[in-house]
Amino acid sequence: MSRPELRERLIGLLLRDELDLTLDELAETAQVDVDLVRRTWRALGFPEPDGGHAFGQADVRALEAMRGAVQSGILDETTTMRLTRALGQTMSKLADWEVATLIDQLERDVEQGRTESRLGGAVWLAENVAPVFEELMVHVWRRHLVAATARMEALGAADEELRTTAMSVGFADLSRFTSLSNTLSDTGLAELVERFEERCADVITVGGGRVIKTMGDAILYVAPEPTQATRIALDLVAQVGARDEVPAIRVGLATGLVISRLGDVFGPPVNLAARLSHVARANRVLVDDTTSAALGPDFETRALPPRPLRGFGNVSPITVSQRRGFRQR
């Protein structure tokens, strides 16, 4: 099979649809306004197609479902568009992550003679792996919906409690990352970042925290209360930063009211945690006053001299460590 034929085969397997509609034809078939189609397409993260047949019947069904939800009063248009944008951003990142991961395997398969080309291997994966992964993806999404619903229920019944919550925020980043990245190859840098993110995510999840986002050389997480967040921070230093294959890390912690929105968290504690991590020494944890005041006797804390932190004036960071004789529970 030629490369163009393989490419068409791959697209067909992934879309499971024939692209035979223009944007205007899509709007007419789905009985929605053309402007709504454009806004929906942008919300999903796609540039507006430059004419031609770029849509199929699956796109029609998706728009019809959205139109039905709005017309029936189940969802208003604003909520529908916000959910659409969340879906687009999440799936874009997931798709990039999947493709980058699979390319590594396809390269090995070609080198070992298991497939003649990356494109041919991609077609094989689309035929045999994609259906299984799609089922897994929906299952994991449902499990995360259950977890998110449980978190929301635990926050309280008042609307303001569902949006603004007291929690502890941790910001961990790699020390000397910029200088180190200049000495690594592209492959070495990618492997370093992946090891860092993977190991941090494992420690945070096992400790009962939740990863909010990763930023290459940094990771942002939250925990319900200060003691839990501090244990996670110390475990990050001990289990990630102390390993030879990963540079030292620095962790900043702050506790306070945080706004949860768009899958992210915002507020002064988030900014303060980041500022504290930037002034921390390698493999050290710095916390704010609120976090320190909530810690029990199994932690040792020591206030450091005041220093200017952008947006917070002069702040006395507090270094924290596990008190000898106590074991983490």
pLDDT digits (tens, 9 = 90+) for 175-224: 877 667 777 787 788 888 888 888 999 999 999 999 999 888 899 999 99
Question: What integer pLDDT is reported at residue 229 of this predicted model?
Answer: 96
Q: What is the mean pLDDT of the chain?
A: 87
Question: What integer pLDDT is reported at residue 221 of this predicted model?
Answer: 96
Question: What integer pLDDT is reported at residue 160 of this predicted model?
Answer: 52
pLDDT at residue 74 is higher than 70: yes
For residue 234, which phi and psi values (nearest 5 degrees)?
A: -65, -35
Question: What integer pLDDT is reported at residue 158 of this predicted model?
Answer: 47
Sketch the domain layout of the chain as residue ranges: 3-149, 164-322
Q: Which fold has domain 164-322?
A: Alpha-Beta Plaits (3.30.70)
For residues 42 and 189, give the distance between their C-alpha atoms in angstroms, rounded to a whole number.
32
pLDDT at residue 268 is higher than 90: yes
What are 139-169's pLDDT values in tens digits? Answer: 999 998 898 888 776 665 444 555 678 899 9
Question: What integer pLDDT is reported at residue 262 of this predicted model?
Answer: 74
Mean pLDDT of 44-49: 87
What percent of the chain has pLDDT above 90?
Answer: 44
Question: What integer pLDDT is reported at residue 163 of this predicted model?
Answer: 64
Radius of gyration of the chain (CA): 24
pTM value is: 0.73
